[in-house]
Amino acid sequence: MSAIRILPELLVSQIAAGEVVERPASVLKELLENSLDAGAAAITVTLEEGGIRRVQVEDDGEGIARDDLPLALARHATSKIETLADLEGVASMGFRGEALASVASVARLTIASRSDASPHGFAIRAEGAWIGEVTPAARERGTTVSVEDLYFNTPARRKFLRTEATEFGHCEAVFRRIALARPEIAFTLRHNGRISSHLRAQPLGDRAAAVLGREFLHASLPLEAQAGTLRLHGLAGSPAPARARADTQYFFVNGRFVRDRVLAHAAREAYAQLLHGERQPAYLLHLEIDPRGVDVNVHPAKTEVRFRDSRSVHQFVLGALRRAVSPSAAQSPVAYAAIAPSGAAGPALQPALGLAQPAAAYQAFMAGAAQPAVPLPSAEQAPPLGFALAQLHGVYILAQNEAGLVLVDMHAAHERIVMERLRADLEDGCVQRQALLVPAVFRVDTLDVATAEENRATLEQLGIEFTVAGPNELAVRAAPALLASGDLAALVREVLAELREFGAAQALAARRDALLAGMACHAAVRANRLLTVTEMNALLREMEVTERSGSCNHGRPTWYQLTLADLDKLFLRGR
Ligand SMILES: Nc1ncnc2c1ncn2[C@@H]1O[C@H](COP(=O)(O)OP(=O)(O)OP(=O)(O)O)[C@@H](O)[C@H]1O
Ligand SMILES: [Mg+2]
């Protein structure tokens, strides 16, 4: 082995660059973060050839003083922290004092900057190990950093760069994240001389629509929650339009885009009961936390964080998100029906309906719902899901509320209501039973009889009481009160199949929701059953007080709002 040597400064920087400067997109991220730290209000990004030829970021931030320019390029030189205590409570994006030095070691870099104190600007150039003199430059307040020919001096790394289109794609992703992190800043993105994105300073909802598309905004619910020093806000995608790919999941911690297991897990759990199969929720969430409660110095790229109290953070995010995406319909805004856009951009964030009316406002009506012939009160005083108008083809309920027309899939909605009641019952001990006047006797196979006898206690907990009427016959004497009028034979067979396959313990724990959903299926109002207006109203009122009633047990939506504006659009009215 040869003797130990101290590595030359350039090589040290190039090694460090390996960690932070993976591709043009990582250069872009570092430059953008510096502009954010400088307090910029407007930032322009210029890329050439996917950023391989040039990445340039121009801002109107506080600028760099003349004498600090060479320092900005030096390793371990930063204006952002001084002490360990600063590091532990760091609120800026940067703090390592390393990014520009690393970038300069593997590219040609120019900084032109002007601070408030200076009568004009100054510029400096660096290329590999070489750093030029500071020269005067004409410019406004702010900084422009230009990085050209990435990896010009490290051909081995240059080989790893992909096509221009791929590298541009990565740059766009970085741009998108930062734009979503800071909607109050204006951003422009230019590629090969063409403007590919222009965003003015705007509220988060508008920024989300501009960056992620209007569909995302319309299919998401605003969220705002606070507990102690923790605050979570942003947009949580409603379960219905969830997609198969996890490509719209943005978590920011104190304005920094992160990929974090604790947060991702909380989100998965919040959506767990609402999403069907492998579908992925979409969300854009900002978590604000005392900087001392989170360590961002985990990896040089800073996309990982470590929470001091990850349990509390998990609980808080889970709770806030759950409330936002699975509220009873009475508190939730509406999953707007997607109406084909007719040319001009629609309004920004559709105003939330005045749905947060106190329960008392329609409780009185609920009592009245038991009596026949309810007159249709005016839409203004209508409860959130409105008053029933009619039933369509035995499948949908049409109702009128303040905003317009509500369409309810009555079977899906009823199923959800029954399921939530069964769940609540079970959590209180056991499902409420109703004794049957005439026992329901039906044939089963011998294995079913054995399973039933073995699991008598569990079945009773689920509201089913039976006697064995013969080697192939069960007589059900009591059934879950909510299901007693349904198809009991099918219900019992299904429960027995579940018990046989998974065992009682599993069925009541991990499989519980699936089991209850299966049971609820047998009770629910079947399509083609005619409901009276009173029954329809009763169903609407129950939806309003039922948790997660916005989607059925299979994750499909149970109702849609069509606003008057939506209808006007359909008929091209008012234009
Ligand atoms: N756009 C800018 N506007 C004003 N000052 C800047 C800008 N870019 C860089 N600087 C100055 O140059 C210094 C070095 O930047 P660099 O990105 O290398 O390190 P850092 O941001 O402090 O830490 P990190 O390595 O974590 O990014 C910064 O501390 C800052 O003082
Ligand atoms: Mg930096």
Q: Over the stretch 494-521, which tens digit does the pLDDT of each residue have? A: 899 888 888 888 888 888 888 888 888 7
Give the per-residue pLDDT at 245. 60
Nearest alpha carbon to residue 33 among 296, 310, 317: 296
Q: Is 38 in the pocket of ligand 1 (CB under 6 A)?
A: yes
To the nearest whole percent, how much of the chain has pLDDT over 90? 40
283-288 and 249-253 strand pairing: parallel
The C-alpha angle 58, 63, 65, rounded to 5 degrees, equals 140
CA distances (Å), origin 501, targets 312, 453, 573: 37, 15, 57
With 90 as the cut, is the pLDDT of residue 220 above it? Answer: no
Q: Is the CB of 72 under 6 A from ligand 1?
A: yes
Tens of pLDDT, residues 549-567 = 777 766 678 888 888 888 8
Alpha helix (H) residue ranges in 62-125: 69-72, 84-88, 99-105
Calpha distance 533→374 (Å, rounded): 8
User: Distance from the CA of 38 to the center of ligand 1, in angstroms?
Assistant: 8
Find the ligand nearest to 33 CA: 2
User: Tell me, what's the pLDDT at 526?
Assistant: 56
* CA-closest residue to ligand 1 atom 4: 63
- Secondary structure (DSSP) of 352-391: PPS----THHHHHHHHHTTSS------GGG--TT-EEEEE
DSSP track, 130-153: EE---EEE---SEEEEEEESTTTT
Ligand 1 atom closest to 20 (CA): 25
Mean of pLDDT over the chain? 83
Half-sphere exposure at residue 43, Cβ-oriented, CA atoms within 13 angstroms: 28
Q: Tell me the pLDDT band of 414, cut-offs 50, 70 and 90.
A: confident
Please write down the long-range contacts of 393-397, taking CB distance under 8 Å and 24 or more positions apart: 394/527, 394/528, 394/529, 394/530, 395/527, 395/528, 397/531, 397/536, 397/539, 397/540
Task: Residue count of the chain, please give it.
Answer: 575
Report CA(64)–ligand 1 centroid distance (Å). 9
Ligand 1 atom, smallest distance to 142 CA? 3
**Ligand 2 centroid to 256 CA: how many Å?**
13
Can you name the residues that pair with 243 across neighbouring β-strands? 280
Q: What is the pLDDT of residue 343?
A: 33
The rounded Å distance from CA 71 to ligand 1 centre is 10
User: What kind and span of H or E run contains 341?
Assistant: none
pLDDT in tens, 155-169: 877 888 888 889 999
Ligand 1: atom nearest CA of 96 is: 26
Are 112 and 144 in contact by the 8 Å Cβ rule? The answer is: yes
Q: Which ligand is in closest contact with the Cα of 105?
A: 1
Give the Å distance between the CA of 78 and the centre of ligand 1. Answer: 6
Encode 470-536 in three state secondary structure: ECCEEEEEEEECCCCCCCHHHHHHHHHHHHHHHHHHHHHCCCHHHHHHHHHHCCCCCCCCCCCHHHH
What was the pLDDT predicted at 354?
31
How many Å lie between the centroid of ligand 2 and the Cα of residue 268?
Answer: 32
Report in angstroms the alpha-carbon separations of 408 from 90, 275, 351, 465.
Answer: 50, 19, 21, 34
Contact between residue 152 and residue 135 where contact means Cβ atoms under 8 Å apart: no
Q: Which tokens in the block code for residue 321? A: 């998100």
Overall average pLDDT of the 396-418 stretch? 88
Candidates 37, 102, 111: which one to mutate for ligand 1, based on the most atoms within 8 Å of Cβ? Answer: 37
Residue 73: is its pLDDT beyond 60?
yes
CA terminus-to-terminus distance, the chain: 82
Which pLDDT score, from 0 to 100, does residue 88 have? 87
Which ligand neighbours the alpha carbon of 299 most closely?
1
Radius of gyration for the alpha carbons in the chain, expressed in angstroms and rounded: 31
336 or 184, which is more confident: 184
Tell which atom from ligand 1 comes closest to the C-alpha of 101: 18
| Pocket lining: 64 vs ligand 1, CB cutoff 6 Å | yes
- For residue 229, the tally of other CB atoms under 10 A from its CB is 10
Q: Which residue puts its alpha carbon closest to atom 28 of ligand 1?
A: 78
Whether 358 shows a pLDDT value over 70: the answer reads: no
225-266 confidence digits (pLDDT tens): 988 889 999 999 887 655 556 678 999 999 999 999 899 999
Asked if residue 352 lies in contact with residue 333, where contact means CB atoms within 8 angstroms, the answer is yes
Tell which one of 31, 34, 43 to mutate to probe ligand 1, the residue whose CB is within 8 A of the most ligand atoms. 34
pLDDT tens per residue across span 3-13:
888 888 788 87
* CA gap 351, 332 in Å, rounded: 12
Q: 50 in the Ramachandran plot: left (φ > 0), alpha (ψ -120 to 50) or beta?
A: left
**What is the structure's pLDDT at 217?**
86
β-strands 230-237, 283-288 pairing: antiparallel
The first and second tokens of residue 97, run together, are 């004092």
pLDDT at 556: 74
- Asked if 153 and 103 touch (Cβ cutoff 8 Å), the reply is no
Q: What is the pLDDT of residue 133?
A: 94
- Going by CA atoms, what residue is nearest to atom 13 of ligand 1? 72
Tell me the CA–centroid distance for residue 96 and ligand 1, in Å. 9
- State residue 374's pLDDT score: 41
Query: With 60 as the cut, is the pLDDT of residue 375 above it?
Result: no
Distance (Å) from CA 202 to ligand 2 centroid: 25
Directed axis angle between helix 310-325 and helix 261-272, to 10°? 30
Pick the atom of ligand 1 nearest to 81's CA: 22
Q: What is the pLDDT of residue 272?
A: 80
Q: How far apart are CA 464 and CA 456, in angstroms?
A: 9
Q: Of 100, 105, 114, 145, which is best to mutate to test ligand 1, by the most ligand atoms within 8 angstroms of its C-beta?
A: 100
Q: What is the pLDDT of residue 367?
A: 35
